[in-house]
Amino acid sequence: MCGIVGITGIADVSFSIYYALYALQHRGQESAGIATFDTTSLCKHKGNGLVSEVFNGINLSSLEGTIGIGHVRYPTTGENRPENIQPFLFEFRNHSIAIAHNGNLVNYQDIRTYFEDKGQIFWSTSDTEIISKVITEEIRCGGSMDDAIRQCMHLLKGSYSVVIMIDGDLYAFRDPYGIRPLCFGRTTDGGFIVASESVAIDALGATLERDVCPGEMICVTKDGFRSRRFTDAEHKAHCIFEYIYFSRADSYVDGTLVYDVRRRIGGLISEEAPVEADAVCTVPDSGTAYAVGYSERSGIPYVECLIKNRYMGRTFIMPTQELREIAVRIKLNPISDHLRGKSIVLVDDSIVRGTTSRRIITIMRQAGAKEIHMRIGSPMITAPCYLGVDMPTRNELIGSRCGVEDVRNRITATTLHYISLDALVRSIGKPVSDLCTGCLTGKYPIEIRGEECESRPVDFVESDFQTSLFPVE
Ligand code: AMP
């Protein structure tokens, strides 16, 4: 997972990008970077850490220009090394280009080998670099940026939401299935912003126009806004995990407010697995909207029993199991007075390895809880993600190795219920055939070696470009 943003037509654009990256921080904490174009050359600053750390003491005014792009990285392909920090910047045939990508390309190695066989060198281990190779190859052959992006859609397999700055122009495009989110909006002073999530648009006080459609390219040049559709797949494959966990609850993803999806899920879990209890408690913050929904539907009061230390990063990114366990203890403090002698419905978004739930249930029991009925906003996660979410291997996924009763036993819950896939899909409000459910079903929308694929053919359409902000039909 990663967060990307591109902004154009705003004075001191680096400040706006900086704020937008803050809004997207939940999408990646490993590194952050900004690139701008000052009408003659590229300016950049990037580094390892949170946005606040990377830009601490940096004079943002030195990143000059009215156009720029930014990135926060959560590693999927490629190790944590300086060369992999985005945006990637390069010069090619008098063009100054910067690129930022969210997603994961499953044919990365094949395309890399193709270019290496032609004598090209690579300086990173990130799959994003092959997008830059496809673009420069097309330009080398005399193609336009439109041609280059069309070519990307033909060649790249996997998930990609991409922003590209080339000289003073901003381009953005999304893979034919729309796996990762991407949307755009207008700022009050006539500027334009494209970002992974609408919260980045909100952060600037800008207005969300719409999502970039799957298979669509949009661009803003000196001639204004343009959009073009290169593919029109009958079935999309929006990542279901964006709704479950990854996107911020206050984001609109593909037209749907994530908070309301989670609240509906909470309501449906209470219908699927009712229980008599004294209180409904969230695992903050990931379980909150779900817990609110459960409480509303069941009539059981919503009571906070765990308080989160807001100054800790995500425990998931700790490198070892032991460190992750310590981190959970520091991160959440139980309120004993709310727990002592009580039966609690504990609601969270997902169980991945099972470590978090077990630790939380242990500290709640130590604080006096009598019963803990665990309710989970996703079905069992049984398979890895190859399309951009950092999911462990099957071996590490508790849902891949154990049945529900075994998981309940291991996390020491009194009862355990995962929402059904059917109820989850109803809560999202899109047909299941437009969602990627790979991590839940082990069936992927794209061919992945050794995995089962649900084929979803892509039609290549060559729409004329249009200048209205509305999607091409
Ligand atoms: P665990 O079961 O200990 O692996 O942790 C599961 C918790 O981590 C979930 O409740 C989520 O809040 C969070 N989580 C789930 N998937 C991810 C992910 N891919 N990256 C970071 N955190 C995640």
With contact defined as beta carbons under 8 Å apart, do 80 and 63 qualify? no
SS3 456: coil
- Which residue intervals of 189-320 are DSSP H helices? 198-203, 240-241, 258-272, 288-298
Is any atom of ligand 1 closer than 6 Å to the C-beta of 391?
yes
What pTM was estimated for this model as a whole? 0.94
Nearest to 281 by CA among 291, 270, 296: 291
d(CA 50, CA 365): 34
SS3 472: coil
Active site residue 43: no
Is any atom of ligand 1 closer than 6 Å to the C-beta of 350?
yes
Mutation to probe ligand 1, out of 352, 356, 412 (largest number of atoms < 8 A from CB): 352
Mutation to probe ligand 1, out of 246, 258, 316, 380 (largest number of atoms < 8 A from CB): 316
**Which residue has 């593919």 as its token pair?**
231
**Backbone φ and ψ of 464, nearest 5°:** -65, 155
**122 Cα: distance to centroid of ligand 1 (angstroms):** 33
Closest ligand 1 atom number to CA of residue 358: 3
Is any atom of ligand 1 closer than 6 Å to the C-beta of 313?
no
Mutation to probe ligand 1, out of 1, 247, 332, 356 (largest number of atoms < 8 A from CB): 356
Is any atom of ligand 1 closer than 6 Å to the C-beta of 348?
yes
d(CA 50, CA 424): 32
β-strands 279-282, 343-348 pairing: parallel
β-strands 415-418, 371-376 pairing: parallel
Tokens of 340: 């002592």
Q: Would you write out the chain's pLDDT as a tens digit for each of its 473 residues? A: 899 999 999 999 999 999 999 999 999 999 999 999 999 999 999 999 999 999 999 999 999 999 999 999 986 666 778 899 999 999 999 999 999 999 999 999 999 999 999 999 999 999 999 999 999 999 999 999 999 999 999 999 999 999 999 999 999 999 999 999 999 999 999 999 999 999 999 999 999 999 999 999 999 999 999 999 999 999 999 999 999 999 999 999 999 999 999 999 999 999 999 999 999 999 999 999 999 999 999 999 999 999 999 887 555 556 676 776 677 778 889 999 999 999 999 999 999 999 899 999 999 999 999 999 999 999 999 999 999 998 889 999 999 999 999 999 999 999 999 999 999 999 999 999 999 999 999 999 999 999 999 989 898 887 665 655 555 54
Is any atom of ligand 1 closer than 6 Å to the C-beta of 111?
no
Is any atom of ligand 1 closer than 6 Å to the C-beta of 76?
no
Query: Which residues make Cβ contacts (< 8 Å) with residue 296, sequence separation at least 6?
Result: 263, 266, 267
Domains of the chain: 3-235 (3.60.20.10), 252-444 (3.40.50.2020)
- Residue 441 sits at the vertex; the CA angle it makes with 435 and 442, to the nearest 5 degrees, is 105
**262 Cα: distance to centroid of ligand 1 (angstroms):** 16
d(CA 244, CA 261): 8
**Which residue has 């504990």 as its token pair?**
346
Is any atom of ligand 1 closer than 6 Å to the C-beta of 242?
no
Tokens of 23: 């809004």
**350 Cα: distance to centroid of ligand 1 (angstroms):** 7
Measured in whole angstroms, how far is the alpha carbon of residue 299 from the centre of its chain? 33
